[in-house]
Amino acid sequence: MVDATKPKRTRTNVKQSKFGCFTCKARRIKCDEGKPACQRCLISKRECQGYPRGAYADSDSTESTTLSIVSASSSPSDSSTPSPVAVISALRSLAFNPYSLSSPFVDLGCTVLVQSPRRARNNVEQTFWSRTVPQLAQSIPSVRAAIEAFGTSYSEYVLRGTSSRPGFETTKRYSQALRMVQQDLATLPNGPIPCVVACLFLGFVEALQQRLNKALVHLQGTFSLMMSLTDKQLLDEVDTDSLVLLLKKLDLHVATYAVSHPPNLPMKPFVMGDVLQSYPPDGSLFKILHSNYHFTAKAFRYKYTSRRTIPPELLIEQGRQLANLKQWLSLNEIPSTSNTESHESLIVLRSQCLAALVNTATIMEPRETAYDCYGPEFEEIITSIGALLLSKSLQGAPRQKSSDWLPSFVPEMGIIHPLYFTAKKYRSPFWRRKALSLILKSGKEGPWCAETEGSLIAAIINAEEGTFDKASLSLGHTLDQSPACIPEEQRYSQVWASDPESENGDCTHYTRKRYTRTMMYRCRDVEAYMRDRKGQIPRGIPWVDPETCEIDDEWWIGREEPLEITLSLIDVIR
């Protein structure tokens, strides 16, 4: 006879959750709660219809203590949440199904950020991009619209969908998102953070299209919004220190990508090395870098002037900047016996610091051969990043199905700038090709694009060495390792890619790029130029005569040619 008092069996080995997606709930199956779309829906090729409120912040108890830029309690309250009618109206204006929170382009935009490499992000920033942003996409229509525009831009300009009118869908969704963000900026109905996120994503939309001037406008708008907030109650639930650090990281794209352009955020008082030890590695480094790139923007004017014309205070400040950079490097060594991938953030930060160190040391040195003295720094950048990418590939990155793999997009500074700076300035044929190979594996980072910067490096090699062949990327140690094989008179000091139509024309149909020209300049005779009258006058743009505002053909040789996007990741996969 069965014991009637026997307790009912329950599952004790399965974690119960109330936060599965709506699709899995309707199918009565367990949801894996993957964000932004669960794996069960992706595998079964069903539309993941989103998650109930609280899913992102509360569903994973193991991460409930994870810090974020925005507190979980700062999500829109019932009193500030738009009425259902208003939300449905806003969603309909975006051609959404108002009864479903799922949109393929929103899912794509969030998935790209979640799947892309960590690079130099700290834990707070990692949580912000992978959890807070998808949560805001679920609850704030303007953020959702901006992320959908980003996902559409990614689809058309990175994945290069087979649309007969490239850019049409992006423009349509971008315009809709812009209107919604402008409405939110007028009243800040949900506080400043959703508007900050939406503005950043509108900037990302432009960056993917290589409309960098327009992207800069959105970034500057974000800075203006934060600096104009006089009501401190709006920031009560915001980790302002972490938010400022994130904005500093985005701001330094301006100083590293443009020629001699200072960061947009105002310069803070110079911080001495002893104070910096109280900050985490990324916090202390970006305080140094922000001050450093303000300095190099001022000092660059004296790069091609006689030494005696340089103000003494600039030389003193150069010494201070170098001391801070060297101290940071000495305090943040990479353990030799550690797992390389576990120190990804530190490796990336050291690479950025090394690039800034070399740039600062040579910022007022007119001779390109001056960079040859920094071989150890350049080689550390290449070897450490190479080891990192190799470690990540061995850990299973390439084992993903090709259909699931998405080219990466990292908003903040990453590895492309240090590698590009190295390949451009370190003239060793062997090492610069190793740097080029790594660039081609790096995806997109803010304005930096692996295909564009990689093809630009190939053009530089061709101009300085006389030839460039894709096959040389795999020749290894058969190449000359000494940078001295390229004399000073063959070295181009200023190189960049340009858009002939100033962002107003269409992109190329196949590559979806706007930067289609290479611009290069080198001094005819540095020694003679320094003795000439013109070598006594500081110049913001060295190759432009300040008296005529035209190219100074007397002293500078220009080279302009088409930028052929002929290199890609395929060229380095063997």
Is residue 34 assigned to a domain? no
Of 18-32, 145-159, 397-411, give the lowest mean pLDDT range: 397-411
Rounded Cα–Cα distance for residues 91 and 373 (Å): 58
pLDDT reading at 82 higher than 70? no
pLDDT in tens, 420-457: 999 999 999 999 999 999 999 999 999 999 999 999 99
Q: Are residues 178 and 283 in the same domain?
A: no
Rounded Cα–Cα distance for residues 292 and 416 (Å): 19
Residues 6+ apart with CB under 8 A from 448: 253, 257, 414, 416, 417, 420, 442
Rounded Cα–Cα distance for residues 156 and 404 (Å): 17
Q: Are residues 232 and 264 in the same domain?
A: no
What mean pLDDT is predicted for residues 379-385? 97
Measured between alpha carbons, how far is residue 143 from residues 95, 106, 108, 185 in Å? Answer: 15, 10, 14, 12
Is residue 37 assigned to a domain? no
Is residue 61 assigned to a domain? no
Q: Are residues 136 and 232 in the same domain?
A: yes
* Residue 554 in tokens: 């007397």
Q: What is the pLDDT of residue 508?
A: 77
Helix 192-208 with 168-187: angle, nearest 10 deg: 160
For residue 166, list its beta bridge partners: none
pLDDT in tens, 158-217: 998 766 677 788 999 999 999 999 999 999 998 899 999 999 999 999 999 999 999 999
Is residue 559 assigned to a domain? yes
Measured between alpha carbons, how far is residue 401 from residues 116, 151, 320, 397, 417 in Å? Answer: 15, 21, 50, 10, 29
Compare 537 and 84 and report the one with higher pLDDT.
537
State the pLDDT confidence band at 24, using cuts at 50, 70 and 90: confident
φ/ψ region of 429 (left if φ > 0, alpha if ψ in -120 to 50, else beta) reads alpha
Q: Are residues 328 and 474 in the same domain?
A: yes
What mean pLDDT is predicted for residues 358-381? 97
Is residue 447 assigned to a domain? yes
Domain residue limits at 324:
250-395+404-572
**What DSSP element (H or E) covers 506?**
none
* Domain edge (last residue) among 207, 238, 269: 238
Is residue 419 assigned to a domain? yes
Q: What is the pLDDT of residue 90?
A: 35
pLDDT reading at 504 higher than 60? yes
pLDDT in tens, 45-73: 676 777 665 554 433 433 333 456 765 43
Number of structural domains in the chain: 2
Compare 268 and 313 and report the one with higher pLDDT.
313
Side-chain-side CA neighbours of residue 115 (13 Å): 19
Compare 431 and 277 and report the one with higher pLDDT.
431
DSSP at 535: G
Compare 234 and 109 and report the one with higher pLDDT.
109
Residues 6+ apart with CB under 8 A from 350: 329, 332, 334, 380, 384
Rounded Cα–Cα distance for residues 408 and 109 (Å): 11
Q: What is the pLDDT of residue 256?
A: 95
Q: Parallel, antiparallel, or unpaired for β 444-445 and 409-410?
A: parallel
**What DSSP element (H or E) covers 507?**
none
pLDDT reading at 14 higher than 50? no
Residues in the chain: 574
pLDDT in tens, 305-354: 988 899 999 999 999 999 999 999 999 999 876 677 789 999 999 999 99
Q: Are residues 323 and 345 in the same domain?
A: yes
Contact 143, 197 (CB under 8 A): yes
Rounded Cα–Cα distance for residues 153 and 149 (Å): 6
Q: What is the pLDDT of residue 331?
A: 92
Is residue 292 assigned to a domain? yes
Percent of the chain with pLDDT over 90: 57
Q: Are residues 256 and 229 in the same domain?
A: no
pLDDT in tens, 111-154: 999 999 999 999 999 999 999 999 999 999 999 999 999 999 99
Q: What is the 3-state secondary structure (H, E, C) of 325-385?
A: HHHHHHHCCCCCCCCHHHHHHHHHHHHHHHHHHHHHHHCCCCCHHHHHHHHHHHHHHHHHH
State the pLDDT confidence band at 391, using cuts at 50, 70 and 90: confident
Is residue 1 assigned to a domain? no
Q: Are residues 290 and 358 in the same domain?
A: yes
Q: Are residues 257 and 224 in the same domain?
A: no
* Domain edge (last residue) among 238, 261, 283: 238
Compare 463 and 393 and report the one with higher pLDDT.
463
* Residue 10 in tokens: 């329950």
Rounded Cα–Cα distance for residues 363 and 487 (Å): 20
* Domain edge (last residue) among 238, 272, 305: 238
Q: Are residues 468 and 504 in the same domain?
A: yes
Helix (H, G, I), strand (E, B) or coil at 238: strand
Rounded Cα–Cα distance for residues 144 and 194 (Å): 10
- How does the average pLDDT of the chain come out, rounded? 83
Contact 200, 161 (CB under 8 A): no
Q: Are residues 218 and 279 in the same domain?
A: no
pTM, full prediction? 0.81
What mean pLDDT is predicted for residues 393-409? 65
User: b/e string for 310-340 if b means 16 or more Cβ within 10 A?
Assistant: beeebeebbeebeebbebbbeeeeeeeeeeb
Q: Are residues 231 and 318 in the same domain?
A: no
Amino acid at residue number 572: V
Q: Are residues 375 and 334 in the same domain?
A: yes
